[in-house]
A and B are shown apart, each in its own frame.
Chain A
Amino acid sequence: DQQVKQNSPSLSVQEGRISILNCDYTNSMFDYFLWYKKYPAEGPTFLISISSIKDKNEDGRFTVFLNKSAKHLSLHIVPSQPGDSAVYFCAGFKNTGNQFYFGTGTSLTVIP
């Protein structure tokens, strides 16, 4: 049962434009959401997080938006840079279960 879903396996964006990566979840009990970035042959690295009581969190070029009524979150990267090309995973966390639930990932390609 995939509780966190990333329905777009890939995304291509021109350098300097906005990249929007989307994530949907089915479990309204998540307390916390995170985004990770993964380069080939490396482990995922933490990017940004958001508490379920917030609707926006910003860190430099990265902003995560949370729409609880739609059970949807998105990661905005502005402006996109070629170094942002990677696979992005979203994850949800439940305090009661003490477990992260990851999506299947979206491969972002930023075209110079």
Chain B
Amino acid sequence: KAGVTQTPRYLIKTRGQQVTLSCSPISGHRSVSWYQQTPGQGLQFLFEYFSETQRNKGNFPGRFSGRQFSNSRSEMNVSTLELGDSALYLCASSLEGSNQPQHFGDGTRLSIL
């Protein structure tokens, strides 16, 4: 069974640009969550999608947005990139969400120059 796939693995952008990250969940999983990991901050929750609807949202500015498609694949978009957006972005999926353990992808390492 294929795991959670995130593309691309690495990305370099400059300030002011925008970026789109992609996540393909495990087949059959309908809940997809996104996290930002930075040194000393742990995993900060961005948002969760379930059946194409944003069900939950963390405390991030509106520059961070996402969407989920009918096949449960999800994309995350960050506009007007700032230096502080440099981080590892992780996607996690689970069957129904709720308290089920999430399965994580290997992340996209975003570097802002």
Measuring CB to CB, which residues of chain A are less than 8 angstroms from any residue of chain B?
2, 6, 31-32, 34, 36, 41-46, 49, 89, 91, 93, 95, 97-105
B61 within 8 Å of A by Cβ? no
Contact at B48–A98, with CB atoms within 8 Å?
yes
State the Cβ distance, B21 to closest chain A Cβ, in Å: 13
Contact at B55–A98, with CB atoms within 8 Å?
yes
Contact at A43–B45, with CB atoms within 8 Å?
no
Contact at B56–A97, with CB atoms within 8 Å?
yes
State the Cβ distance, B6 to closest chain A Cβ, in Å: 8
Measuring CB to CB, which residues of chain B are less than 8 angstroms from any residue of chain A?
4, 33, 35, 40-45, 48, 55-56, 58, 90, 92, 97-99, 101-107
When A and B form their complex, what is the total count of cross-chain residue pairs whose Cβ atoms lie within 8 Å? Answer: 53
Contact at A32–B106, with CB atoms within 8 Å?
no
Contact at B43–A98, with CB atoms within 8 Å?
no
> Which of A45, A95, A105 is B42 in contact with, Cβ under 8 Å?
A105
> Known contacts A89-B42, A99-B45; is A44 also within 8 Å of B98 by CB?
no
A89 to B35, CA, bound (A): 13
A45 to B105, CA, bound (A): 9
Contact at B101–A43, with CB atoms within 8 Å?
no
A44 to B104, CA, bound (A): 6
Contact at A100–B45, with CB atoms within 8 Å?
yes
State the Cβ distance, B108 to closest chain A Cβ, in Å: 11
Nearest B residue (CB) for A5: B42
> Known contacts A43-B4, A43-B105; is A104 also within 8 Å of B99 by CB?
no
Nearest A residue (CB) for B91: A43
* 11 pairs, A vs B, C-beta closer than 8 Å: A6-B42, A34-B101, A36-B104, A43-B106, A46-B101, A49-B101, A89-B42, A89-B43, A102-B35, A102-B45, A103-B42
